[in-house]
């Protein structure tokens, strides 16, 4: 996956929650004061600092347990990470120094150097005050996903935040189907723009995981929006995922990450069910949360070329925006249709002019007018009508579109246009207002500057458009001097 499609959350202050995961203490409490004997690493005591699994991945954070002869703890105070803390150092294969986060008498937290990529095993020793321990084997894998947890033991509440950097816990549950959560973890393997061992990951460009991990939330697969290293941190990854609509709900919903055949420890978050009745804004929000940046941009510009060079579009449309099939968002096929369907590929009914419809003073007749257009559009697979012209009739000789307007009375124009649009939409076609204010000339319409005081505008064209408004177009005339 590319950074250009990422939904990435800047860590800001919320990332401080994770410092406890880095400065891990042994599961049975601190082991300070072990000054006697020789330094030693416990057999099998080299584990993921998040999951406590015994296989670790290059670039990730690991905890090493043993007897390290330190009377007080010590931690790194700056980046890049040091390779010595309180006269303690660790070496892989007797030569490659391990970057150190933290050390005390019983535990040392390190980064597994990136240089070990491709290896299946390495030997680790610890040196304290000139004494070096026997070597212990470190099992290496390309991927060893582990989720950090609040208790620093690899279980229970996960280090999983919402987009406001709040812990996703019972007092702040995620909503199934719409919430994006940020999972802090380690062990996701190779990344683009890989930093040096001991060094922080950059913000621009991001270090993105070269394979997209699989995330399960509440027993259901979740859409992954971003996976990569946390900028400004060492060895720590974040995975941004959408909580699936069919996730289990409750105060302790399990979350796991899988990559390269390995699955992480199960951390938990709180998840609540979506509202029973979902209004259109909420439903739109569900779709928006699942869209990549590229998909969002795709929906805010046409794919038909400039007005002066429109190439043939599907279904005879005059405008076209590709859909997003994976989200069930259909392609949009736009056609003009104030006086009948302007389909360039099929016959359509020629209706009287819009101004003739308004001259009837009959909203019911205007509704029938719009029904013809809407039904023909639906029959031809066209779904957006650009026909609700509510702009008042202009007295400018260069108007050119007087036949599409609905008279000079803003109340009449608004009511007739509203009936027209309602009829189109009752045929399950999007009906919109176009040229809805102060478009008194067709010639030079892209450069005209309409000079009118606010009261005059509100008592004329804007009053008409307000009366008819349902779905306006995205642009208007310049009035008085601002777009």
pLDDT of 146: 98
Whole-angstrom Cα distance, residue 321 to residue 444?
26
Domains of the chain from N-terminus onward = 12-140 (2.60.40.10), 146-278 (2.60.40.10), 291-468 (3.20.20.300)
Q: Regarding predicted confidence, which is higher, 112 or 482?
A: 112
Going by pLDDT thresholds of 50, 70 and 90, the confidence category of residue 32 is: very low
Torsion of CA 312, 317, 321, 326, to 10 degrees: -100
Look-up of token digits 């023909």: 376
pLDDT at 75: 95
pLDDT value at position 386? 85
Question: What pLDDT does 199 receive?
Answer: 97
pLDDT surpasses 50 at 9: no
Q: Around Cβ 412, how many Cβ atoms within 10 Å?
A: 18
Beta strand pairing status for 319-321 and 174-175? unpaired
Residues with Cβ within 8 Å of 405's Cβ and at least 6 positions away in sequence, in order, are: 354, 355, 358, 389, 391, 392, 393, 394, 413
**pLDDT at residue 470 greater than cutoff 90:** no
Burial group, residue 454, by CB count within 10 angstroms (0-12, 13-18, 19+)? exposed
Per DSSP, the three-state class of 136 is strand
Does 23 have pLDDT greater than 80?
no
pLDDT of residue 308: 55
Q: Is the pLDDT of residue 39 over 70?
A: yes
pLDDT tens figures, 357-414? 999 999 999 999 999 999 999 888 889 988 777 778 767 777 777 788 888 898 998 8
Q: What is the pLDDT of residues 291-339, one digit of tens each?
A: 888 999 989 887 776 565 666 777 878 888 889 988 888 899 888 888 8
User: If you average pLDDT over residues 113-130, what whole number do you get?
Assistant: 97
Residue with tokens 């931690």: 75
């Amino acid at each position: 996956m590319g950074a250009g499609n990422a939904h990435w959350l800047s860590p800001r202050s919320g990332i401080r929650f994770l410092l406890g995961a880095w400065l891990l203490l042994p599961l049975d409490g601190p082991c300070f004061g072990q000054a006697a004997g020789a330094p030693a690493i416990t057999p099998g005591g080299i584990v993921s600092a998040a999951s406590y699994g015994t296989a670790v991945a290059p670039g990730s954070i690991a905890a090493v347990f043993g007897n390290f002869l330190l009377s007080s703890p010590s931690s790194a105070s700056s980046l890049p990470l040091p390779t010595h803390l309180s006269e303690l150092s660790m070496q892989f294969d007797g030569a490659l120094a391990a970057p150190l986060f933290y050390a005390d008498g019983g535990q040392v937290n390190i980064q597994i150097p990136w240089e070990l990529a491709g290896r299946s095993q390495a030997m680790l020793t610890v040196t304290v005050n000139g004494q070096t321990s026997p070597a212990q084997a470190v099992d290496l894998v390309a991927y060893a996903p582990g989720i950090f947890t609040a208790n620093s033991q690899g279980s229970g509440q996960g280090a999983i935040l919402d987009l406001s950097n709040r812990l996703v816990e019972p007092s702040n549950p995620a909503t199934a189907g719409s919430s994006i959560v940020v999972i802090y973890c380690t062990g996701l393997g190779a990344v683009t723009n890989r930093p040096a061992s001991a060094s922080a990951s950059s913000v621009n460009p991001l270090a993105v995981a070269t394979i997209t991990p699989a995330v399960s939330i509440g027993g259901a697969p979740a859409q992954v929006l971003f996976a990569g290293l946390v900028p400004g941190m060492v060895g720590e990854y974040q995975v941004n995922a959408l909580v699936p609509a069919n996730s289990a709900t409750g105060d302790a919903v399990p979350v796991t990450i899988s990559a390269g055949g390995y699955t992480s420890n199960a951390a938990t978050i709180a998840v609540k069910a979506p509202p029973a009745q979902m209004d259109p804004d909420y439903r739109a929000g569900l779709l928006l949360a699942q869209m990549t940046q590229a998909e969002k941009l795709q929906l805010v510009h046409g794919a038909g070329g400039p007005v002066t060079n429109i190439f043939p579009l599907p279904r005879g449309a005059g405008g076209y925006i590709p859909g997003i099939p994976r989200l069930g968002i259909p392609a949009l096929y736009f056609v003009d249709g104030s006086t009948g369907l302007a389909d360039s590929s099929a016959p359509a009914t020629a209706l009287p002019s819009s101004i003739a419809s308004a001259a009837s003073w009959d909203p019911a007749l205007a509704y029938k007018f719009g029904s013809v257009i809407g039904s023909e559009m639906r029959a031809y697979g066209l779904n957006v009508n650009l026909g609700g012209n509510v702009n008042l009739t202009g007295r400018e000789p260069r108007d050119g579109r007087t036949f599409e307007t609905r008279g000079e009375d803003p109340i009449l124009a608004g009511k007739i246009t509203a009936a027209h649009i309602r009829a189109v939409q009752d045929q399950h076609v999007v009906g919109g207002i176009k040229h809805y204010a102060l478009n008194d000339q067709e010639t030079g319409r892209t450069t005209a500057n309409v000079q009118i005081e606010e009261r005059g505008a509100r008592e004329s064209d804007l009053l008409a458009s307000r009366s008819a408004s349902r779905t306006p177009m995205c642009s208007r005339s310049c009035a008085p001097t601002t777009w």
